[in-house]
Structure 1
Amino acid sequence: MSKISGRNNLTAILSIVTIGATLSFGMTGAIAADEVTEDQILRALAPPAKKPLTRGLSVGPQQAEPVISAEEGRFVQKIRGRPSRSLSASEREEIATLAKDKPNIDLEITFDYNSAEISAKSLASVQALGKALSSADLKGSTFIVAGHTDAAGSDGYNQDLSERRADSIKRYLTEKYGIAGADLVTVGYGESKLKDPSQPLAEANRRVQVVNMANKTTASKQ
């Protein structure tokens, strides 16, 4: 189990961090848990604007650049509605590869010690996420909810913990905000993808990442 060094409380803390150019909050560094807003999440997860249609001199009309390729679309459909524990190691890696170029945000979510129950202090962050994902701008997209831990504890324990915590967030979003379960693909990475590999026990490694895999025009429903 991930433990917070130098603290006596029984809360394991995940760190809010900005993701490069994906987040344009007009500031640098981490954002405190109580400062994250629905608007910030919306801007981070918004799909890239499509290029306007133009007519070339000799090649005819140019199509808007797709948000997701046909191959990616087939993979997204394959994993939609799957429980996190059913994903193979290769499928988890493929998700991670595709997610690198998609709109994403890391959120600070705190859980009770040795538990996947969302702590009361993190409800505001999860509620902001729920409002954002159920908004007209994002509703119907397929989202990855990925859980990460630090390097404390065994590989197997951390893998299981990351999956349970991602599932806990999915359950809250579906129950409280009516988001379709198939639109939320949960995956756990345990300690395999540390945010700060130079400090394997750092809080920045204990996080939940949300990735917008496809907009609502490309994600069919099941």
Structure 2
Amino acid sequence: MSRNSARNVFIAILSLFTIGATLSIGAARAEDVSEDQILRALTPEKKPLTRSLSMGAPAQTDPVATEAEGKFVQSLRNRPTRSLSTGEREQIATIVKDKPRIDLEINFDYNSDRISARSLPSVQALGRALANPELKGSTFIVAGHTDATGSDTYNQDLSERRADSIKRYLVEKSGIPAADLVTVGYGKTKLKDPANPLAEVNRRVQVVNTENKATASK
């Protein structure tokens, strides 16, 4: 083999190794999420006391609306996922818009609510985060989402079963009180990437901290 040929083979092998290493790192970043990342995402920001420019008084939230929201969240605790009406699911979606949340790309076995082995570390990290003193006692929304493959009815059922599966794991394996986890399924109605309805990012579980500790388990 000539010197140039040997050099070309070496370069080709090195390039394949580099590409393989890059793909491995990318996959790890896509799959793995740490307890600390989840904790930071779900911890409410400490909002500074601000003053109204017009009145000079501290800006305040509507206490009536806050109380109504708290009562609604309380009414969801211990509710079966399938018992939620379309209106209640939409009300939950409205409430969580301004709450600390994180989207987890948790994979399940095909056409199943069984958590895949490669996603277990992320679910375990979620369990540790929710048990952290910073978050413990809050009421969390666990929302299941699918991509656009299949019918509305099929995806709604699948998203509910998968949200229930995450809750069941967190209760049984991480010791999170069942009443602190409110599960809801949205099927394919709230795609994360509407421009690519079949994209993997749409198949996710969203966890939201409602910041409601008044009704938390003791």
| TM-score, structure 1 normalization | 0.77
TM superposition shift of 1:131: 0.3
Does residue 91 of the first structure (1) align with residue 88 of the second (2)? yes
The answer as to 2:9 corresponding to 1:33 is no
**Which residue in the other structure is 2:75 paired with?**
78
Report how far residue 66 of structure 1 moved.
Answer: 9.2
**Is it true that 1:179 corresponds to 2:194 in the alignment?**
no
Q: Percent identity?
A: 67
CA contact (8 A) 1:51 1:64 kept: no
Higher RCO (C-alpha 8 Å, min separation 6): 1
Matched, 1:112 2:109: yes
Q: Deviations over 1:93-143 (max 9, x none)?
A: 000011111000000111111110111111100000000000000000000
Give the length in aligned residue pairs.
187
Residue 195 of structure 1, CA deviation: 0.8
1:204 is matched with which residue: 201, 204, 214? 201
Two-structure CA RMSD over aligned residues (Å): 2.5
CA offset digits 1:176-222 (Å, max 9, x no partner): 11111110000000000111111111111111000001243x33449
SS in structure 1 of the partner of residue 206 of structure 2: strand
Q: Match for 1:219: what amino acid?
A: T
What is the DSSP-based 3-state SS (H/G/I as helix, E as strand, rest coil) of the residue aligned with 2:75? Answer: helix
- Which runs of 5 or more structure 2 residues have no equivalent in the other structure? 1-27
Residues in 2 aligned to 1:105 and 1:172: alpha-carbon distance in whole angstroms:
18
In the superposition, the TM-score normalised over structure 2's length comes to 0.79
Equivalent in the alignment of 1:161: 158
SS in 1 for 2:70: helix
